Structure 1
Amino acid sequence: MGQKQQSTADPTAEPKKRRRVGFFNLDSGIEAKDCIKVYLVSSKEEVGSPDSFCINPVDLNSFFDEDGKIYGYQGLKITIWVSSISFHAYADITFESTSDGGKGITDLKAALQRIFAETLVESKVDFLQDFSTGSNLIRSMISSGEILKLKASNGRGTDCNSDLKAAISDVEVVRMVVGKTAAGHLYSRLIPLVLLLVDGSSPIDVSDPSWELYVLIQKKPDQQGEIQCRVLGFSAIYRFYHYPDSSRLRLGQILVLPPYQHKGYGRYLMEVLNDVAVSEDVYDLTVEEPLDYFQHVRTCVDLSHLLVFDPIQHAVSSAVSRLKQGKLSKKIHIPRFMPPPSVIDDVRRSLKINKKQFLKCWEVLIYLGLDPVDKYMEDFVSIISSRVKDDIIGKDSGTNGKRVIEVPSDYDKEMAFVMCRSQVGEASDVQMDENQTNQEEQLRQLVDERVKEIKSIAQKVSGHRV
């Protein structure tokens, strides 16, 4: 058998170079929330102090590229101080090194300016100096505003108002029209905190005079005895025209600065806004997409007024008596226990609580009237379950549901529809999950959450019952 001949190597030929394979280390980035700390400080001594108040932004990542990450830095640390005196900000940025790991190097200055805009100060020296030079800034800005005092309004929970007055006697609310220069200038300084601390918020139009700014101010003397004004929080209200000769107030933004939260200031601000709505006889006061916690506070405030509002007491007693009469949980069709239309109108006209909000309060009022509550809890839960089911799949509960109707359109075929109320018994295109088991589980969870919420609110307001 012949053997395969091997080629004879040329002794004069250069040896072949061995190919080396390298692995590219792709930069995975770092999330903004993991390398940025934001502090709210009221003096230059607090800057860099371990006792400085650290705030927790709702979503820092949204300001950095599409995936919320920072690229190109090793050992990155960003410390931001925000002055509660002037609301200027200064960012201290440190890192070990920079390199392009495949996704570039994030422009940190541009990203931070998306949050802080012109309030971002480049020099730390200027930032520290501002605590002295800007000490009277807030006082000068609000000087043209209208000072609002909390009133003991007719039949509207005067005991609660008295408690608030005693607890926070050194604060006041100043109303300013946003379309004017001073109010717009002040709000522009508050925008970064709105973006950082209010989920899903966007700045209001400071050129629109229909916006009003209600600023919660605390006045305290400094070491020299001069009165200093400190912003504790604010609310932005939009005033709509209501035919024929009235207006509606819509609360668009409300924020109590983190160091002053859970001290009653938010409730105080809500009470003042209610006073404005009643004293100016607007049509009603509504809230734009309230967050759960604020909705909880709002309901507590409204209930403190409803509990001493005589025109609804008979309707509440009647509803409670009907609930106590029988085993509602055994019935096929459970009544809604809705308040009479005249009662809904009385509440709106006198307390400026709109219908949707009053119906939330109405369920708590019925719960408060049950004594002993454990005896009637099963029937009460049945009422809540029936209402939740009506709201989600109205057609299956004998009430009006919703229908989606396609309409011709040459502009956008995907948007060529209208949604309207279905008549009783009419088919609806808005339904729950087709799986019956999932429907029941979803419904049960919603009912449990609502009952838990009602119990929590009832516990808080029961001390104000008269």
Structure 2
Amino acid sequence: MDAKKRRRVGFANMADEGVEANECIKIFLVNNQDEVGLANGFCIDPIDLNHFFGEDGRIYGYKCLKINIWLSTVSFHAYADITHEGTFDGGKGITNLKPALQDIFGETLLEKSEFLQTFSTESNYIKSIITSGAVLQCYTSNKAVDSSDTHCNGSNGSTMEHQIVRMDLQSLPVGLLYSRLVPLTFLLIDGSSPIDVTDPNWDIYFAVKKMPSTSGDYCLSLLGFATVYRFYHHPDSTRLRLSQVLVLPPYQGQGHGRHLLESINSISITENVYDVTVEEPSEYLQYLRSCIDTLRLLDFNPIKQNLKSAVLSLEMNCVTKKASRSQVVPQNWIAEIVRQKLKINKKQFLRCWDILIHLKLDPNNCKSMENFKASISTRIKSEILGKDSDSKGKRLIEVPNEYDHDMTFVVYCPGGGEELENLDETIDGDRSAQEQQLNALVVKQMQAIDDIAKKDHCIGQVFVQIKAVEEFIILDLMQNPLQHFIVL
């Protein structure tokens, strides 16, 4: 029998189990056309590709399917290189790959020749748009320019300037740039959806890298961005809500996300908005946000006396007493001052308050640390079950979920004559199970507080050293002004 016929017969008899999209698709970020086609480029790790390919997230009808997608960091266009050893219908048809890939990349998905041309035709695309924005912050880095930044030749080894730039998303060029970034939000932000660029209440903040070029000019590379919405707050104010924050994977862990958040905080104070909130933050974003806000609060004088009293209460008293518990929680007027001056909303302030207390406590003082843990436990129980949960019969019930959460629970309160004994017969769990669930939440919260406190303690120590140096220089200048004048 002919070899080709034997191969076709073999495919026809194969049971097609399909392949998960996550297993056969790789996405590479490329900075120049020479990197296209190289398997050792910078490969990103998407949140989940499966949900773009049917209910089961599988691709059917291909033998040894490989999809390599090259995403340009110059123009943010994409090209998909699809290879396989043949197609067959194993009972579930042959997946049409093009519509699925277009669901992710939209109009940015180009044919190879057109994609390669963009590296030259759109080499200044980012610069042509970003230069019209308002520069909010500049910061420098002495790190050598990545070898991959070859679209900006001549900059290797130079000191780079980074900028945070704010722009109006309603501007047509900015809106088009954002539309090219949407695929990255699909790939890297869990549950992301595009924002309405025609809504005038949207702003976008870009983190960019400014590098000199061989022509004597400069070029800009996009490092990340954040989208912020302005909500009306009665009667005559606005609230800023942070919607999306994304730093491109090659530049993560270098502080660019922190500078984006700091710029948004600065704008909130300059423009005197009501406060700043975040829309469904990821765990890491909440961690970063809490680190930044805690450091801001460490130097905020109006709360220092109240914080000192809370720490003293934990060191001296037992927090199971109602009066002692009230001394640990900041008074409402303190939270209001923080909101007015720093634009930190009350919920976020209370998170940071726990971290501030943890920073001030002696970790070797067992009594104060136990009291601190007890105060966290009491507050969590109160938030979930209510202040009088024991008398009203509210129950914490763990329930299954389809997501990768540590636990999901609901609060149940029996009606009029319903007996708790009957409730226990129908619900898998009892009071001891409820206590275990609450304790697990407390342990998780304590770990989060400890992680942030450790990071902020290290950063705080650096700040203290910087301040000490600054004070020494000022004092030395006062004592020896002529000497410094001559040196300058």
Query: Which of residues 422, 441, 452 in structure 1 aligns to 2:447?
Result: 452
Aligned pair in 2 of structure 1 residues 231, 434: CA closer, same or farther (>3 Å)? same
Amino acid at match of 1:145: G
Higher relative CO (Cα under 8 Å, sequence separation at least 6) belongs to: 1
8 Å CA contact retained: 2:170, 2:200? yes
- Partner Cα distance (2:364, 2:197) in 1: 50
Amino acid at match of 1:384: I
Amino acid at match of 2:454: Q
8 Å CA contact retained: 1:170, 1:220? yes
Query: Which of residues 86, 90, 93 in structure 2 aligns to 1:101?
Result: 90
Partner of 2:456: 461
1:383 paired with 2:371, answer no
Partner of 1:37: 26
Q: Deviations over 1:279-308 (max 9, x none)?
A: 111000110011101100000000110000
Partner of 1:394: 386
8 Å CA contact retained: 1:146, 1:175? yes
Matched position secondary structure for 1:121: coil
Matched position secondary structure for 1:335: helix
8 Å CA contact retained: 1:394, 1:401? no
- Partner Cα distance (2:44, 2:271) in 1: 37
Task: Say how many residue pairs are matched.
Answer: 409
- Partner Cα distance (1:385, 1:237) in 2: 34
- Partner Cα distance (2:178, 2:163) in 1: 18
- Partner Cα distance (2:193, 2:343) in 1: 27
Aligned pair in 2 of structure 1 residues 372, 118: CA closer, same or farther (>3 Å)? closer
1:241-390 alignment runs, 5 A limit: 241-328=232-319, 335=325, 337-375=328-366, 376-390=368-382
TM-score (norm 2): 0.79
Amino acid at match of 1:307: L
Aligned pair in 2 of structure 1 residues 398, 242: CA closer, same or farther (>3 Å)? farther
Amino acid at match of 1:139: K
Aligned pair in 2 of structure 1 residues 402, 263: CA closer, same or farther (>3 Å)? farther
Aligned pair in 2 of structure 1 residues 402, 285: CA closer, same or farther (>3 Å)? farther
Aligned pair in 2 of structure 1 residues 214, 400: CA closer, same or farther (>3 Å)? farther
8 Å CA contact retained: 2:164, 2:206? yes
Aligned pair in 2 of structure 1 residues 97, 166: CA closer, same or farther (>3 Å)? closer
Q: Deviations over 1:191-216 (max 9, x none)?
A: 00000000011000111111111111
1:7-406 alignment runs, 5 A limit: 25-122=14-111, 124-149=112-137, 170-328=161-319, 335=325, 337-375=328-366, 376-397=368-389
Q: Deviations over 1:153-207 (max 9, x none)?
A: xxxxxxxxxxx66679611112111112011111000000000000011000111
Structure 1 residue 246: deviation in Å? 1.6
- Partner Cα distance (1:226, 1:48) in 2: 30
Structure 1 residue 328: deviation in Å? 3.2
8 Å CA contact retained: 2:164, 2:259? no
- Partner Cα distance (1:24, 1:391) in 2: 59
Structure 1 residue 143: deviation in Å? 3.1
- Partner Cα distance (1:36, 1:401) in 2: 51
- Partner Cα distance (1:57, 1:315) in 2: 45
Structure 1 residue 398: deviation in Å? 7.4
Aligned pair in 2 of structure 1 residues 166, 278: CA closer, same or farther (>3 Å)? farther
Partner of 1:435: 430
Amino acid at match of 1:299: S
Structure 1 residue 395: deviation in Å? 4.5
8 Å CA contact retained: 2:47, 2:188? yes
- Partner Cα distance (1:332, 1:398) in 2: 15
Matched position secondary structure for 1:97: coil
Amino acid at match of 2:132: S
Structure 1 residue 368: deviation in Å? 1.2
Unaligned runs of 5+ in 2: 1-11, 144-159, 396-409, 465-488
- Partner Cα distance (1:69, 1:50) in 2: 23
Matched position secondary structure for 2:82: strand
Amino acid at match of 2:374: S
Structure with larger Rg: 1
Matched position secondary structure for 1:73: coil
Structure 1 residue 227: deviation in Å? 1.1
Structure 1 residue 369: deviation in Å? 1.4
Structure 1 residue 327: deviation in Å? 3.4
Range that drifts further, 110-119 or 437-446: 437-446
Amino acid at match of 2:119: F
Q: Percent identity?
A: 51
Q: Deviations over 1:15-46 (max 9, x none)?
A: xxxxxxxx964311100010000001111122
- Partner Cα distance (1:327, 1:284) in 2: 34
- Partner Cα distance (2:90, 2:116) in 1: 36
Amino acid at match of 1:450: Q
RMSD: 2.8
8 Å CA contact retained: 2:168, 2:174? yes
Unaligned runs of 5+ in 1: 1-22, 151-163, 404-418
- Partner Cα distance (1:244, 1:394) in 2: 31
Amino acid at match of 2:273: V
Q: Deviations over 1:219-272 (max 9, x none)?
A: 112343331111100000001112222211000100000000011111011111
- More helix, by proportion: 2
8 Å CA contact retained: 1:433, 1:439? no
